[in-house]
Amino acid sequence: SYVLTQPPSVSVAPGQTARITCGGNNIGSKSVHWYQQKPGQAPVLVVYDDSDRPSGIPERFSGSNSGNTATLTISRVEAGDEADYYCQVWDSSSDHPLWVFGGGTKLTVL
């Protein structure tokens, strides 16, 4: 089955830029979605289809996807961005399509 690899943790100072990666075999050929999950809360979609933002998500959140790596970029990081972030793709390569999540990355704002 398809595997998505994320770093367990990323740390960044307020006002700086955080980059969270999601690795997968030829992930550039797939649509990647990103979710933010704060403690005790349900996940929230922050980027879909590699680089689109749902309404209400700040422009500080952006995404890119090429080759074997997709990246969620958070510009001008704020304390409120501290959360777990998950990437997701739909894997149609097996005999039964399914959705796959990465293991998650904990973003710490220093």
Partner 1 sequence: EVQLVESGGGLVQPGRSLRLSCAASGFTFDDYAMHWVRQAPGKGLEWVSGISWNSGSIGYADSVKGRFTISRDNAKNSLYLQMNSLRAEDTALYYCAKGRVLLWFGEGAFDIWGQGTMVTVSS
Which parts of this chain interact with partner 1 (CB under 8 A)?
Answer: 1, 31, 33, 35, 37, 42-45, 48-49, 54, 84, 86, 88, 90, 92, 96-104
Distance CA 87, CA 8 (A): 12
Least Å distance between CB 19 and partner 1?
Answer: 19
* Strands of the chain, DSSP E: 9-12, 18-23, 33-37, 44-47, 61-66, 69-74, 83-91, 98-101, 105-109
Q: Between 54 and 67, whose beta carbon lies closer to partner 1?
A: 54
Strand partners, 33: 88
In angstroms, what CA-CA distances link 36 with 48, 52, 81? 12, 15, 9
Residue 8 C-beta: closest distance to partner 1, Å:
10
Nearer to partner 1, 53 or 60 (CB): 53
Q: How far is the CB of 86 from partner 1 (least distance, A)?
A: 5
Q: CB of 13: closest distance to partner 1 in angstroms?
A: 26
* Closer by beta carbon to partner 1, 48 or else 60: 48
Strand partners, 89: 100
